[in-house]
Amino acid sequence: MQNWDDLRLFLAVAREQSLSGAGKVLLLDPATLGRRVARLEAALDTVLFVKSPQGYTLTDAGAQLLERAETAEQAMRLAVSGVVAPTDTLSGLIRIGAPDGCANFLLPQVCAEIGAAHPDLEIQVVALPRVFNLSRREADMAIAVSAPTAGQLLVQKITDYHLHLAASDSYLASHPPIESTADLHGHRLVGYIPDMIFDRELDYLADLGLGRVALSSNSVAVQAQMLRQGAGIGVVHDFSLPFVPGVRRVLPGLVRLQRAFYLIRHQGDQQNLRLRRFAEMLTAAIRAEVIRLEAKA
């Protein structure tokens, strides 16, 4: 490795995933920064980033360097301060990838609470209806609805959560009554776009033996709003119901699904105290928030 200045530039590009974003952080011209990155790669004889119109993505070698660079960054902060870092505060940037149901209905209040307790901490939530690629450092950690079985990853179950069929009061009042699952076949269904279901755990309607979806989206937040507008009947997270007034459970005594959230991290982060402490706070807060919201549903 060249020096701390090289690491500082590398960290900025890795975290911002673009020269322009890193340039704003470092107050450097993107062209100059690009030359510095190219010079660093040449000095190491290693490609650190995959460049594309979407930005700069870490290669496997870049991901390995990122781990070492973050360790060096923490050591530099301690050297500058001249003291041991406090054990009760966190700082720096942490990016979380999450499916949009979790990102929309759980993480805003959870991250607000953690951020209030740690004002020097920057938390980014990337809400995407797909599986995150941690090997490419799309996020520091990710929340998923199924546990991966491949890759060098740390996987921790966060909590179980529950889902029910639901519809708006207005829809139920203007359509035939629903007294059994057989009655569902005469109603319009709201759900996922079939070919955009990225995890088998999300194929709720198939589990219930229900067919064509009349109105669909790849976002559960959009589906919840469709139900609120009286579009039909769909499966919703219990923890989302407090956010969609006028929508209530259908056949709660007959249809109840259970799923789980998992926290996924890089195996190399096991020794990173900052990320480990954040992960502990995040999992505890999500568990508590699921319990609180499900009780209100």
24-48 tens-digit pLDDT: 878 888 888 889 899 888 888 889 9
Say if 190 falls within a structural domain. Answer: yes
pLDDT of residue 159: 93
CATH number for the domain harbouring residue 40: 1.10.10.10
| pLDDT tier, 82 (very low <50, low <70, confident <90, very high otherwise) | very low
Are 297 and 256 a contacting pair, CB within 8 Å? Answer: no
Say if 60 falls within a structural domain. Answer: yes
Distance from C-alpha of 63 to C-alpha of 12, rounded to nearest angstrom: 13
Are 214 and 232 a contacting pair, CB within 8 Å? Answer: yes
Distance from C-alpha of 278 to C-alpha of 10, rounded to nearest angstrom: 23
Dump strand ranges (E) for 66-188. Answer: 92-98, 121-127, 141-144, 153-168
Say if 88 falls within a structural domain. Answer: no
| pLDDT tier, 286 (very low <50, low <70, confident <90, very high otherwise) | very high
Instruction: List, in order, residues 6 or more apart from 46 with CB less than 8 Å away.
Output: 61, 65
Read off the pLDDT of each residue in 80-86 and give the average, rounded to a whole number.
44
Instruction: Assess whether pLDDT exceeds 90 at residue 282.
Output: yes
| pLDDT tens digits for range 223-234 | 999 999 999 999
CATH number for the domain harbouring residue 163: 3.40.190.10
Q: Identify the CA nearest to 284 among candidates 162, 161, 157, 125.
A: 157
Domain boundary among 36, 53, 81: 81
Whose structure tokens read 């699952």?
A: 181
Residues of the domain holding 62: 1-81
Domain boundary among 63, 81, 99: 81
Say if 58 falls within a structural domain. Answer: yes
Mean pLDDT of the chain: 85
Instruction: Assess whether pLDDT exceeds 70 at residue 254.
Output: yes
Say if 292 falls within a structural domain. Answer: no
pLDDT of residue 2: 54
Provide the Cα torsion 193, 198, 199, 205; round to 10°: 0
Element (DSSP H or E) covering residue 249 = strand 247-250
More confident residue, 147 or 71: 147
Instruction: Assess whether pLDDT exceeds 70 at residue 124.
Output: yes
Distance from C-alpha of 281 to C-alpha of 60, rounded to nearest angstrom: 28
Read off the pLDDT of each residue in 239-246 and give the average, rounded to a whole number.
96
Provide the Cα torsion 220, 149, 259, 111; round to 10°: -60
More confident residue, 56 or 167: 167
In angstroms, how far is CA 25 from the centroid of its own chain? 24
The token pair that represents 148 in the structure block: 């991966």
Say if 279 falls within a structural domain. Answer: no
Domain boundary among 81, 100, 118: 81
| pLDDT tens digits for range 61-71 | 888 888 777 77
Q: Identify the CA nearest to 97 among candidates 123, 116, 115.
A: 123
Say if 211 falls within a structural domain. Answer: yes
3-state secondary structure of 210: coil
pLDDT of residue 233: 94
Say if 118 falls within a structural domain. Answer: no
The number of domains in the chain is 2
Antiparallel, parallel or unpaired: β 92-98 and 141-144: parallel
Distance from C-alpha of 239 to C-alpha of 162, rounded to nearest angstrom: 8
3-state secondary structure of 156: strand
pTM: 0.68
pLDDT of residue 86: 46
